[in-house]
Structure formats: structure tokens, C-alpha cells
Structure 1
């Protein structure tokens, strides 16, 4: 079941787990009539009327080679806006009033509501019936819905999936319209090769000649330490990097940790230097004050280094960068908003090799050899690669597939889209 991640909607989500706490969907007679017209419309479900295996349907949603930042994406969003306007004009979609988890085998009236909900949004074919039994056809449709919302496609209506399903059609339409403006502003020529970090999707694309060559999961900034929107050029890869702690982490994290555990810096191979470059023993610092903020905190290369094997550098006023991490388990999380503003990259070696394709002598064997040596090594890129950090929480791809993500930083302006916790 999807984990509960919402603060602003916590009371609502909690009530989803209490029998009888959610009122059944009634609506006005006109709205019900309009919804039934949508359900019976011959144009519903035309994304996949054959309704093949769930895995294939999910694969079609996630495996497109179309970049998020492309003119084609903006074109498809325009088409999605027209379809969603029709859905809104016809009364939107019904709420799903579940008081327990819905999955294969469950019999409940909420299963009927789920069918109708997914038919209206085009995830389930119009001929899927009106059964109250959760069957494998509905399982495939739900997994498709979850995939295009960036969720774990487990086929279970848990709290988070339920909350997303019950975001109203007018709000989703507004989200598409807001993001169309963002996409249009970025749909010009971005470079023959470029890297894009989509913050609300916590995802990275490496794009070459208008096609996505690689996708990587990312870990981006917490809501109180947000990853900035920016554009720059990647000019350097550092293998076995030193990590220098930013003042924000020194103040918010390291000083409080040293007050509790005076061995923290030594155990984590972090050394202190004054402004003249002289090393300062940790025991010489008064940790009851903030005097340590004026020192430089540098962590030696190694497996426990905060950037692990690799740092990707690009000039920017925010002092952020992309990097590896020893905390690989975080990439398995649904919500990946855990950093202090920098971007952690899953399978960073593949992205590194892609960046170094134009740098002679830096093939896979050499990169692996240098990483294994543990020696700090700066590798300038022969050809600098544009990099863009963007905030796109809704987009569309070929085949009429519409993607939505949580408005994690509250930039879409609608509380209903902020499904995750503000304290991540």
C-alpha cells in the first residue's frame, strides 16, 4: 500500500481508513447524467481498448523516449487540456469512497466507483463493466494510473493513491494549464545534448538529438531546503570527490550532532580548516556556539563520503551540484525529497560515462579504475553539457498519456495538489 505522506490532507487521509467516514458519492442528477454519458461514450478508453497485460500497459506509460522539455510535449499537453476541458464540462469524474484498501479480489461498492473513475480518465476501457469485484482488468488499469502519476505501480488503492484519485478534474485541468506555460518557456533549442532535472518528478533525463538516452531517479531537496530552478553547463566531473559542507548543513545538522556526539566528525572523516587553511582539531571548537560556521568542513574521499564516488559540477549562484550517494536505498522510495538542495543521481556511473563521451581516454574501464583507487581526480569535460533544473508537475506524451506529480514545493497554487508532507 502506498505510504501516507500528506500533512495538509492528513485528516482526510486518516478518515479514509475509518469505516463509514467517507460519504458516498451522490452528486447532482445532472452531473450523474453527464458522468454516465462519459462512461458510455465510444471515445473513452481508446488508449488501449485491447487491454493487454498490466506490465505492458505500465511499460508504455514509462518507456517513452520523448523528452519532457520538447515542443512535442507542449503539443500533447494542449491536446490533453482539450480532453480535460470536455471532462470538466461533462461533470468531471466520481469520487472513490473507499474505507479499506482496494486490490485484486476485494468486493466493495467502492470498486464500482473506481471503475467509473478510471474509465472517465481513460485508464480503463469503456467496456470493462460495472462489477463490484476488483479483477485483473481493473488491476492493470490502476497500475497504469499509478505509473503515470509517478507512484509505485502495485495495483493497490492505499491512502496516497486514493487521495490522488480524488483530486478533482477542474484542479487537474488547472495543473495542465499551469504547466503548459512552463513547458512553452522551455521548448526552444536546449542543445544537441543536455541534462534535465525535473524536480517534482525527482527524475533526470539525458537527452541527445531530441531523444531521451537515459533516465535516472533523483533525490532532490526537502521542502525547507528546496532544489532551485536553474540553467547552466556541466563543465567537470570529479571522481572520489572531497565533500565540503555548506554553511546551512553546518548550522542545521553538524553543530547539533556534535553537541550530542563529539566523535561525529572523526568517525565520518570530516576535517576542519580555518580561513588560512590550517587544520583545527574538533575539540578546540566551542560547539555550544555557532563559531564553527566560520570553519571549512571537508570530508575525505571514500565510501562514506556524502557524495560517494562522483560529483558533477556546473557553475550556479546556489552552490548546488549533482552527485552520487552512499544511501542507495533512498532511490527505492516513492517520495524522494530528502536532500539539502543538491541532486543525488541513481546509477550515476552511466550518466558520468554519457557526459564523458567527448572526453578522450575516459571510457568505462578507466572510470572504474580511478574510482577503485580512491584518489581525488578532476575530469574537465571536453564539451560542456547544458543542464536545466525545472519544475514540471504535469505533462503529456504520445498516445495521449497524461502525467501528474505532486506539487511538492507548492508552486502550482492549489492546496489539493500538495499530497505529500511539507516536512519531508
Structure 2
């Protein structure tokens, strides 16, 4: 009968708020059945569930007794809310609960509980709705992510204490925990400083009037142990100062050469206050990732061009990647690896044919032969390239058979998506040595791709491994279905903590940081129209020749 009353209360119009000045179990139950989320003013809206449902679940499991009359319980909640500042969240967003006194009315009680739920949602899933800012495209039929439901998090607080509910809500993703620790150690109210003036490219051994200011800045940021006073009367750029710049470059995703060119100067002139905001938004991005993760996960950071295979919070394998350049960005998505192609051939996508290959063919008629490209009609029949008007080709396909120069390398990892992208091997292995690896046409090129394949094939039987080895040796194309392949998240974050726990940064190559800084600086507004996901056109494909044309 009580269940029927709950259901009835959820579907009928809200009733008048009963006995608003009392705090009994009976009146709390009546208020929740009567939709207190609408009867009480200033209650927040939750994204992951309805506030009404969450409140009913919370109080039903507490026999409709009050949660916040005890000073110890309120103090525990205040402590946890205050610690959210180290997560890049604003405790003031939960100000009523933060300053709560013993509730004297039902709405006071429910307002504290509502902000408790809101804080758990923000901590576990992000303060902002990802779909409104940096949406992931998501494949169909994905199993639910491993993140606990909001109701489970809130009930943990009843059973194990408020601190336990926040600890469970806080992402356990190692990247998040490391970045949070680094953020907690930052000076989050740094003094302002003048930017380094523009000037000529500064190379070791050169003289420059900016030397003293450069030394002072690097010493302030912890990269130079010497006192800046040592450079007051010395205008040469050398010695410990060059080494400090190299260290700075290494931790900021720059070419480590000690040369202060435009990119290094731009990075040096990102103020400490801007770096604080950069770390804060990347904690938010990692909350989004954590909310989408599964136990078996291939996590790819497009911004840093790195990937790692994870089981739970343990890293099984990691490598560098090559990702889409800014004009053909790699889309952000959640999918899964469902098949692997051995010895792949490559059909040149229309955009790459039009923008990359045709200009090279026009400059060099031997380009097709040099790169082993075959000309076919739309039915797959061979065409004589000498009889094609390359200034206005029509109805042709260029295809490269499997082989060592094939842009897809020896293996391709397929995942459902509408962007025609995938992960693959590459013959352009020298590009993995570059600091900036945003060089592809959208796909993800994987360093040591055979090692990733070995990880994904690890559960197969001896006979299955033998069969795969034979298929690879055949040099013919073969498709292998992969059951229980890892979830793939193509995400984007530009700040992280390195293996020593130090803050490190990479360039915001897709230009996404500033919009998110602005969004995090204000309270979430009513939901705007969702932005289109970062994407390449479906026809664009991925692999593009990066070797110099002959």
C-alpha cells in the first residue's frame, strides 16, 4: 500500500505542503509524497535523476527520520563540502548545507539533503553537463558505466558516514587523484606578473634584455634554483637558465630544445592564475571521463596524444599516439573495439584524395607508382592512370594493398562510430618522437600497435593464437571479431600530474580550454542548445601520407 502511495505521489499534481513547521517522520513522508521538490523553494535540479526520486530513496532508507538535526552529522557534511575546493569545485554552490544550523522546518531539512545530493553528483559526474560543453558521441548498446548511481552514493552516507559517501563519489581514476593532489598543492591565488615582452627567438649563447625577467619568472615557478639576482648584470642566455627552460618545456608539452621561440614564449606568458583555471577545468573533464568509464578501458587523451589500456585502476599498457591535427580533429567519443583487421588495405577517402593526394599526383605523375596506389573505378575494376584527367578525375578510387608502406600499417582496431575513424598502426613511426603529435587526419595512430593487439588477444586459446599468426603471415587481409573488447574513450585534457606528481601541461591544440574556463566561472545556466561534437566529416577518413612527396 505504501508503494502505491509513492507511485501516486509521483504522478499526480503536487499537493499543498503539510505542516511545514514540523519535523516528524510522518510529515516528512507526506511532504515527499506530495512532491516537496516543487513545494519547497530553492531546491536544486539534478541531472542524473529526479530530485523527488532521490529524496524518497534517501529518506525511505532512513525510515523518514531527519538526517541533519545532529551537530555531528552537519559538521561531517560541512567538512566534506569544504574539501571540495581541492577538487576544483566551489563549496559556495552548496552554501545552505555548508552553513546549516539545526533545521526547524521540513524545507530546511530537505534543502540540506538536496545540496548533499547535488554535491555528490557534481563530484562524481561533473559540475557542468558535458553534453552542453564538450559532448562525447556514444555508441549504441554500450553496457552501463561502472560509476555508482547517485542513490548508491547518498545511501553510503547513511550506512558508513558522510565522509565515505564523498570518498566513493570522488573519481578513483588515477589521473584524477594525481591531478587533484597537484591542484591542492598549488598556490590558487598567485600574484600577478608582467608577461615577457615579444622579441627575437632566443637561443643558447645569445644576449637579450629579457634575461633577468625570464630568470625571475623561472625561479618563481620552481624551475631555476639560482637567484635571479645572478642575472642582473649578465645578459647571456646560457648555463642553468637554459637548463631551466628545457625543464619548463618538458613539463609544458613543448619541444625540449632550450630555444625560446613563439610557442615557448606563449606558454611562458600563460599566467599562474590562468594555470590554476586550466587545472580546475581538467579536473572537471576527468570527472566526465570517470562517469563514462568501465572496468576494461582504453583511455585516449587526444590533447597529449597518449593512450593507456586499463583494468580497473591498474594500467596494463600505455603508449604514445598520433591524433588529428586541428583542421581535422579527432572526435571525442565513447565506443568499444569490436574487431581487428590484420594486413589492412587502404582506400583513399574522398577528402584526402581531393586535398592531399591529387595535388601531389599533378606535381609528380610517378606519385602513384612510388606509393603503390592502384586506380580503380567505383566497381573496383582497374583503370589505366594514363587515361585519367587528373585535373578533373571522376568515378575513380585509389587503393593501396597491404604492405610495409600502407598508411594503416599492419593492423587496425575498429570501433563503431559515424566518423570513419579507427585506431591503427603506421609506417610513420618517426613521428612518435615529436612533441606535437597532432598530425593525422582524425584517426589515432598507435605506437607499438602489435603490443596492443597482444593485450587484446591475451585471453585467446593457443590454437586461436596459432591461427592469427598464420593469418598475419599470409600478408592477406583478415578480419577478427573481438568479443568483450575494451570500452574506448577518446577524451581531451590539457593538464595532468606526471609520474613525480608534478603538474604538466600540453598545448590546447583544439582550442577548447577557454570556453570551459568561462563556463566553470559561473553557476550553470538553464540548459542551452547542445553543441555539435568535435567531428571530422564522415567521408574524411584518417590516414594521410606524411612523407615528403617525391
TM-score (norm 1): 0.69
**Do structure 1's residue 117 and structure 2's residue 217 form an aligned pair?**
yes
Equivalent residue, structure 1, for 2:188 = 86
Shift of 1:84: 4.9
Aligned 1:149-228 pairs, distance under 5 A: 149-188=252-291, 190-228=293-331
Check whether the contact 1:270–1:297 (CA below 8 A) recurs between aligned residues: yes
Check whether the contact 1:95–1:117 (CA below 8 A) recurs between aligned residues: no
Q: 1:100 to 1:220 in 2, by over 3 A?
A: closer
Equivalents in 1 of 2:297, 2:175: separation in Å?
Answer: 17
Is 252-261 or 325-334 further displaced after alignment?
252-261
Equivalents in 1 of 2:180, 2:498: separation in Å?
Answer: 11
Report how many aligned residue pairs link the two structures: 342
Aligned 1:230-379 pairs, distance under 5 A: 230-292=333-395, 295-361=396-462, 371-379=472-480
Q: Summarize deviations over 1:350-382 as a string: whole Å, max 9, x none.
A: 222122212334899987765454222323224
Check whether the contact 1:96–1:114 (CA below 8 A) recurs between aligned residues: no
Q: SS where residue 214 of structure 1 aligns?
A: strand
Q: 1:170 to 1:301 in 2, by over 3 A?
A: same
Check whether the contact 1:97–1:113 (CA below 8 A) recurs between aligned residues: no
Q: SS where residue 326 of structure 2 aligns?
A: coil
Equivalents in 2 of 1:166, 1:102: separation in Å?
Answer: 18
Tell me which of the two structures has the higher relative contact order, counting C-alpha pairs closer than 8 angstroms and 6 or more residues apart: 1
Q: 1:355 to 1:143 in 2, by over 3 A?
A: farther
Q: 1:170 to 1:366 in 2, by over 3 A?
A: farther
Show structure 1 runs of 5+ residues with no match: 1-68, 415-423
Shift of 1:239: 1.9
Q: Summarize deviations over 1:124-153 as a string: whole Å, max 9, x none.
A: 45x767422778665654443222212344
**Do structure 1's residue 73 and structure 2's residue 172 form an aligned pair?**
no
Q: Summarize deviations over 1:297-353 as a string: whole Å, max 9, x none.
A: 321001121112121111111001111222222222222222111111222222221
Is 344-353 or 165-174 further displaced after alignment?
165-174
Equivalents in 2 of 1:158, 1:262: separation in Å?
Answer: 38
Q: 1:161 to 1:372 in 2, by over 3 A?
A: farther
Shift of 1:115: 3.8
Equivalents in 2 of 1:328, 1:187: separation in Å?
Answer: 31
Equivalents in 2 of 1:323, 1:370: separation in Å?
Answer: 17
Equivalents in 1 of 2:415, 2:481: separation in Å?
Answer: 11
Equivalents in 2 of 1:152, 1:337: separation in Å?
Answer: 14
Equivalents in 2 of 1:376, 1:138: separation in Å?
Answer: 54
Shift of 1:199: 1.5
Shift of 1:242: 0.8
Q: 1:217 to 1:407 in 2, by over 3 A?
A: same
Equivalents in 1 of 2:374, 2:418: separation in Å?
Answer: 25
Q: SS where residue 231 of structure 1 aligns?
A: strand
Shift of 1:232: 0.9
Equivalents in 2 of 1:162, 1:312: separation in Å?
Answer: 39
Q: Give the alignment's Cα RMSD to 1 decimal.
A: 3.4
Aligned 1:18-167 pairs, distance under 5 A: 71-78=173-180, 80-81=182-183, 84=186, 86-88=188-190, 90-92=191-193, 95=196, 101=202, 103=204, 110-124=210-224, 130-132=229-231, 141-167=244-270
Q: SS where residue 358 of structure 1 aligns?
A: coil
Q: Summarize deviations over 1:253-303 as a string: whole Å, max 9, x none.
A: 2333333444433443333444444333334544332524xx443210011
TM-score (norm 2): 0.54
Equivalents in 2 of 1:213, 1:150: separation in Å?
Answer: 24
Equivalents in 2 of 1:148, 1:367: separation in Å?
Answer: 41
Equivalents in 2 of 1:329, 1:378: separation in Å?
Answer: 28
Q: Summarize deviations over 1:82-105 as a string: whole Å, max 9, x none.
A: 5555343x22576487756355x7
Q: 1:152 to 1:288 in 2, by over 3 A?
A: closer
Q: SS where residue 319 of structure 1 aligns?
A: coil
Higher strand share: 1
> Which is higher, the Rg of structure 1 or of structure 2?
2
